Amino acid sequence: MAKAKFLITMAFFLRFRCQSSESSYPAAARAITFDDLPAHGPHPPTISSLQIIQSILATLQRKKLPPAYGFINGVRTEESPETLDVLRAWRTAGQPLANHTWSHPDFNDTTASQFIANIEANQPLLRTLMPAPSDDWHWLRYPYLNEGDTLEKHRAVRT
């Protein structure tokens, strides 16, 4: 049910955003992003994660939207190796990937060194899926948008 609500919300967002041709941001500053690829939560048994991604990718292409970054959690590919097909489909469609940490920890609940290690654990998968010259995967989205519960932790990861 949560996945269905997400898809409905995403479809509404894409439709609304695509109908608006005016923007106060320059084209280079606009971005569409998707968190928690290749899979996030349960979905109806009659539809696969790959089918969901293919539908999203078709919408992005049909609406001629700029590249959409997929922020990945590599642990999902270890838990369910078939989800690698989701990430491959994303890349085949020309969409970039970026880092959302290996296992989606809450930075507020870990040390800076543990969090950095979790970021670094995701990098081999990103390098494989986004090889040079299109290796622009060096973007990070903090899980839960938590950038650290202390200034020291925040600075340690930013550094």
Task: Tell me how many degrees the CA angle 35-131-63 measures, rounded to the nearest 5.
Answer: 50
Look at residue 34 and tell me if it is in a domain. no
Q: Contact 69/31 with Cβ under 8 angstroms?
A: yes
Residue 116 domain flag: yes
What CATH code is carried by the domain that includes residue 102?
A: 3.20.20.370
pTM across the whole model: 0.80
Domain encompassing residue 104: 40-158
Residue ranges in the chain modelled with pLDDT below 50? 1, 4-23, 25
Domain annotation covers residue 105:
yes
Cα 67 from Cα 40, distance rounded (Å): 21
Is 137 a domain residue?
yes
Give yes or no for a contact between 57 and 95, defined as CB atoms under 8 angstroms apart. Answer: yes
Residue 19 within any structural domain of the chain: no
- Within-domain flag for 79: yes
**In angstroms, what is the C-alpha Rg of the chain?**
16
Question: Is 20 within a domain?
Answer: no
pLDDT (tens digit, 9 = 90+) per residue, 23-58? 454 555 567 999 999 987 788 889 999 999 999 999
- How many domains is the chain partitioned into structurally? 1
